[in-house]
Structure 1
């Protein structure tokens, strides 16, 4: 597990890959209790990071404006 990188600095792809590794280790059940707790905490942070990045992406996609012909023409402010 590459927990040297703070979760907040990971790209979505890196966070989801590490989350998959964490889940795999926890599912195998061959990790000591203390390590399992640390893995679970890291996994929770990774999950939250991925959810946040997905929500931000959904907001951006939802705010794309369309021209009358249905073609994308730009974006509207997220708070607009």
Structure 2
């Protein structure tokens, strides 16, 4: 079995969501897939948190390093109408 990484976990999560959205699974299978999906959500969330910590930039200010968190600018995509 290949080592799980963020991309493969996210791809599998998308597959599971698609299967569950179809609504043609038995309750038992749906619950198993939901459980797998929740574990993948937790894994992906942990990886994102770890990545955020790694992105924190160290700046040298007066000889002592200072941590400055990396901030992502929000994408100004099309707004959804209500």
TM-score, with length taken from structure 2: 0.68
Structure of larger gyration radius = 2
Matched pairs, number: 62
Render the CA deviation track for 1:57-77: whole Å, top value 9, x for unaligned.
001111x21357xxxxxxx7x
Render the CA deviation track for 1:23-51: whole Å, top value 9, x for unaligned.
00001101111100000000000000000
Give ranges in structure 1 of 5+ residues lacking alignment. 69-75
* Residue 48 of structure 2, aligned match among 47, 54, 59: 54
The higher relative CO (CA closer than 8 Å, separation ≥ 6) is in 1
The two structures, once aligned, show a CA RMSD in angstroms of 1.9
TM-score, with length taken from structure 1: 0.69
Alpha-carbon distance in structure 2 between the residues aligned to 1:25 and 1:67: 50
Q: Kindly indicate which of the two structures has a greater share of residues assigned to helix.
A: 1
Displacement over 6 Å in runs of 4+: none
